[in-house]
A and B are shown apart, each in its own frame.
Chain A
Amino acid sequence: MNMVMYEEELNQVQVVVDKLVRDANARVVCIVDKNGQLIAASGETDNLDTTSLASLIAGTIAAMGGMAKLLKENEFPTQFHEGVKANIHIQLVGNRVILAVIFDSRATLGLVRLRVKRASDELNNIFEALTRRLPQRGGNTPFGEITDEDIDNLFND
């Protein structure tokens, strides 16, 4: 099954991450799916390789999930790593997507935690609604109409 996201939902997610950047005084906020695809990002992303970051964030969440399983825990949904200049707070939201906040000394962990909690609830609502709509979307991807020729053309270099 594929994950399909339309403008409407992506805009809703964007509103949440934009707001979180401001409310938490964060440098960067991003939403990543559990397979490592970047869904949305906000803040100082210009000089940041968000694609790589997304795959690594998903990797650590996957690794922690694996550890949780071994310890008969359900999940370790929260991670916090402190650096010299940057800190990262990673939160699994509704077991579906990952919310990562990168922040520096302009913010505190307490503030970030508080704002992440609120953003998580909002994201949960968005993704729950999306999951309810998914089954109706099966026949609706742009890929139903592509031809074998379209696919071949992609590889003619």
Chain B
Amino acid sequence: MSFINYLSREINCKIVYYGPGLCGKTTNLQWIYQRTAPEAKGKMISLATEQDRTLFFDFLPLSLGEIRGFKTRFHLYTVPGQVFYDASRKLILKGVDGVVFVADSQVERMEANMESLENLQLNLSEQGYQLEKIPYVIQYNKRDLPNIASVAELRELLNPLKATEYEAIASRGNGVFDTLKAVAKLVLTELKKGSGG
């Protein structure tokens, strides 16, 4: 649910990075944080375990610039990917405007990817959302590793909805901003539709 503030002339949107444990969601946000000019970002907050696994969420506020005199602000969140944190994932999905599914390209993580994607669909539907109807982008991460599935295989297993897809090496930044821009654009386009434009 975006929030339009006519006093400060701001529009705030919420984007959630979803995906299995260790797929690289937090790494995406860290890269975005490092490569964004200070005036365009706020502090990145990571509620993590001592082993740097996301415990509740990561949060990064970004300003993308102005549209028609309105500042566009995006609040990026990651969910904890580990299976047993499902209650937290549900909470973070509340009020979401756009979703990035980060898949781990490694062959041995394919089952975890599929399980996480099903979990995403289930948790969205509990809130009356459908993945096919909301702004949604998929990222095939860790393309630098040796034991990875081909994009064709990943597409077949994980992207039956034919969402916009990107290959990425989040730890080096490849594909990170492409993914973010694509989802942000879909969110803004949706806002335009939603307001009868």
**Chain A residues with a Cβ under 8 A of chain B:** 1-7, 10-11, 33-37, 39, 49, 51-52, 55-56, 59, 62-63, 65-66, 70, 138-146, 148, 150-152, 154-155
Contacts and interface: CB of A to CB of B under 8 A. Distances in A.
Contact of B42 (A5, A49, A70): A49
Interface of B: 1-7, 11-12, 14, 42-43, 45, 47, 56-57, 59, 61, 64-65, 67-70, 72, 75, 87-88, 90-92, 94-95, 181, 184-185, 188-189, 191-192, 194-197
19 contacts: A3-B1, A3-B3, A6-B6, A10-B6, A33-B3, A37-B3, A55-B45, A66-B87, A66-B90, A70-B87, A142-B70, A143-B67, A145-B68, A145-B197, A146-B197, A150-B68, A154-B64, A154-B67, A155-B64
A141 B45 contact: no
Nearest to A2: B2
B43 A49 contact: yes
A96 B169 CA distance: 40
A56 B56 CA distance: 10
A7 B7 contact: yes
B94 to A, nearest CB: 6
Among A2, A34, A56, A152, max chain B CB count under 10 A is at A2
Nearest to A70: B87
A48 to B, nearest CB: 11
Nearest to B191: A143
Nearest to B4: A4
A141 B67 CA distance: 12
A144 B189 CA distance: 10
A65 B87 CA distance: 11
Contact of A141 (B4, B12, B65, B91): B4
Interface of chain A, helix or strand or loop or mixed?
helix
Interface of chain B, helix or strand or loop or mixed?
mixed
Nearest to B66: A154
Contact of B59 (A5, A52, A63): A52
B61 A155 contact: no
Given A5-B6, A55-B45, A66-B91, A37 B192 contact: no
A3 B2 contact: yes
A59 B192 contact: no
A52 B67 contact: no
Given A2-B1, A3-B1, A5-B5, A37 B45 contact: no
Contacts of B188: 143, 146, 151, 154
B75 A36 contact: yes
A34 B94 contact: yes
Contacts of A65: 91
Given A36-B75, A154-B65, A143 B197 contact: yes
A3 B4 contact: yes
Given A3-B3, A155-B181, A140 B45 contact: no
Among B4, B68, B72, B94, max chain A CB count under 10 A is at B4
A51 B5 contact: no
B70 A35 contact: no
Contact of A63 (B4, B45, B56, B69): B56
Contacts of B68: 142-143, 145-146, 150
